[in-house]
Amino acid sequence: MSIITQEIKDFLEQQKLGFVATVSLDGTPNISPKGTIIGWTSEFLAFANIRSPDTVNNLKNNPDVEINVIDPLLRRGYLFKGAARILNDGQMYDEILSYYKNIGIKSIIHEIILVTVSDVSTVTSPLYDMGISEQEIKLKWKKYFNDL
């Protein structure tokens, strides 16, 4: 079963920022922005550890993770739940690292985080519930960001 569809992969490729939530050793939440989240296969997401020591340490103790990626103009996106593995070597590590280098990532990548996705849900703004169109929402937020 394909949990990560081509539509989701395309969405992730277009979005440049997502947030990864992990649990710290003391049980407190930790959320960290990531600019490298990709849909690697129909069951795996990946992101690079460029500057994520807390995220990696948390995942070593508890692999449970939530990832939220939202289009800031359309106010819609996806929430992913799953379990993460930290890759330091191997064929999949090499393939994903090569992918990142080929798309122009120049930062040092310390590890690849591979997430086996167990659940995907869509996230939408309550504005959609009020019958406001996607185009109207996009125009509203474009104006907001342009006026900053």
In whole angstroms, give the CA distance from residue 103 to residue 105.
6
pTM to 2 decimal places:
0.93
- Look at residue 148 in the predicted model and tell me its pLDDT: 84
What digits encode the pLDDT tens for the residues 44-82? 999 999 999 999 999 999 999 999 999 999 999 999 999
Q: Please state the rounded mean pLDDT for residues 6-27.
A: 96
Count of CB atoms situated within 10 Å of the CB of 117? 22
- Tokens 């990548």, residue? 109
- pLDDT for 116 beyond 80: yes
Q: Where are the domains of the chain?
A: 6-146
- pLDDT for 37 beyond 90: yes
What HEC string does 18-61 produce?
A: EEEEEECCCCCEEEEEECCCEECCCCEEEEEECCCHHHHHHHHH
Q: Please state the rounded mean pLDDT for residues 126-137.
A: 94
Q: What average pLDDT does the structure give for the chain?
A: 96
Instruction: Report which DSSP code applies to 144.
Output: H
- Look at residue 1 in the predicted model and tell me its pLDDT: 56
In whole angstroms, give the CA distance from residue 120 to residue 9.
12
Residue 66 identity (one-letter amino acid):
E
**CATH domain 6-146 topology:** Pnp Oxidase; Chain A (2.30.110)
- What the block records as the tokens of 8 is 């989701």
- pLDDT for 112 beyond 60: yes
